[in-house]
Chains A and B, each alone.
Chain A
Amino acid sequence: MCLAVPARIIELDGARATVEVPGNRFSADVSLVPAVKLGDYVLVHAGFAIERYRPEDAEEILRLHEDMENAG
């Protein structure tokens, strides 16, 4: 019971954010992770960001996405 995916914050307005996964943009509430900034990667579950990725872990996601694009 825990479908959650990493996504990047591309718009931020108080508690409301727009997050991006490849090719898609969803709304997400960020009140559970108050320290987030634009550009941060967060873990999104049921329309809520439940944790923020640290920059070093976020880099790994970026690299993996690039690998997928190059392979595909």
Chain B
Amino acid sequence: MPVSGDARPANVERLLEDIRTQFRKLRRETVRLMEVCGTHTMSIARAGLKSLLPEGLKLVSGPGCPVCVTPTGTIDAACELARRDDVVITTFGDMMRVPGSRTTLEGVKAAGADVRVVYSPLKSMEIAAATPGRTVVFLGVGFETTAPAIARLIQAAAQAGTANMAVLPANKLIPPALRVIASDPELRVDGFLLPGHVSVIIGAEPYRFLADEFRRPSVITGFEPEDVLEATAMILEQMLLGNAEVQNQYKRVVHPEGNPEARRRLDEVFRTADASWRGFGVIPGSGLVVRDAFARWDAVRRFDIRIAPEEPETGCLCGDVLKGKVNPRDCPLFGTRCTPASAVGPCMVSSEGACAASFRFEQ
């Protein structure tokens, strides 16, 4: 059992037995469940869970990898800033090898740019204090799990009056992307495994439309193998009963109302705006931009950044993979032109991207 987990003592074999029984009772040849969190993609792949599920019960990856869906234009903007002598870029490690249109943050670092990997966004404040002649720009990616921390970073800078720090905002929101997925008539997804840690922040309410408008069962899911299996069993149970609700499997840390304090801070610093997702195009109300009150710490305004519109890659099927329409291995570029070592599209870039996970973990 993983040490990290606050995993329930639930028994893997018992859960698998439940799943097999329910799947049989459903009498469906194929059932497709979508998870929309890169950490779920990874967790499922690492545990080899797909090899344990009955034939016909498919787990599909949706656009839950914020690294994967960060547009090329944002990476290009970050690389451009990095090249300036008066800028230090701070970023989560995940972003270092994401390809822009020409290079990566790792690439510009190799060429002499000051790019530093941090674990916490707040480290940017320390670095700003140590580099008074330069501006530290933090590349703010992530979903609702991470956005409140970035809001707090901006608030901390405002409180301390730190002039030489800014954020390049690239955070995205999950519910609008779920709406795009659910409203696609071509899409065949029977139920959703909802991102547990996003839900810690936003609670259960924002997902209600999946049940009310689209009649899809969904379950807020934790990240241990037992959590994923239990949530899968819960969705199958709903399907058997003909229900469509939002359930919470991750009760030990997700409260139905989410984290109001985190949301309050988010709301104080950011407002929602339309945002471009790699492979998806623009999704209305799915991104966060810095409010006017905090404009001083918004790198977009500070440096007058213009993000170029997305250019789709030739032959790359990431968009369809992210929508769960095709499997990674159906893409003509998979394993040939596109591998983890030389990724074409975002799904291969991030180690948690559907294509990378498939390449690394599955046969």
Contacts and interface: CB of A to CB of B under 8 A. Distances in A.
A in complex with B: yes
B15 interface: no
B191 interface: no
A47 B259 contact: no
B120 A29 contact: yes
Interface residues of A, number: 30
Contacts of B64: 1
Contacts of A29: 120, 122, 149, 152
Contacts of B119: 46-47
Interface in A1-27: 1-6, 21-22, 27
Given A1-B38, A1-B65, A1-B143, A48 B149 contact: yes
Given A1-B146, A57-B252, A57-B253, 5 more contacts: A6-B4, A51-B253, A53-B6, A60-B252, A64-B5
25 contacts: A1-B65, A1-B352, A2-B196, A2-B198, A2-B223, A4-B200, A27-B120, A29-B149, A32-B262, A46-B121, A46-B149, A47-B121, A48-B120, A50-B200, A50-B201, A53-B6, A53-B253, A57-B6, A57-B253, A60-B6, A60-B8, A64-B1, A64-B7, A65-B3, A68-B3
Contacts of B39: 1-3
A27 B67 CA distance: 25
Contacts of A21: 4
Given A45-B197, A47-B121, A5 B4 contact: yes
A65 B197 CA distance: 21
Contacts, number: 108
Given A32-B265, A51-B200, A64-B5, A2 B148 contact: no
- Which of A1, A29, A46, A51 lies at the interface centre, i.e. has the most chain B CB atoms within 10 A of its CB? A1
A43 B253 contact: yes
> Which interface class (under 10, 10 to 19, 20 to 34, 35 or more) fits B?
35 or more
Interface of B: 1, 3-9, 37-39, 64-67, 92, 119-123, 142-143, 145-146, 148-149, 152, 195-198, 200-201, 223, 252-255, 259, 261-262, 265, 352
A46 B6 contact: no
Interface in A52-72: 53, 57, 60-61, 64-65, 67-68
Interface of A: 1-6, 21-22, 27-29, 31-34, 43, 45-48, 50-51, 53, 57, 60-61, 64-65, 67-68
- Name, among B223, B252, B261, the residue most crowded by chain A CB atoms within 10 Å (CB to CB): B252
B40 to A, nearest CB: 8
Nearest to A48: B149
Nearest to B352: A1
8 closest pairs, A vs B, by CB? A47-B120, A2-B197, A48-B149, A61-B6, A57-B252, A32-B262, A2-B39, A1-B66
Nearest to A34: B261
Given A1-B67, A64-B6, A45 B145 contact: yes
A60 B8 CA distance: 8
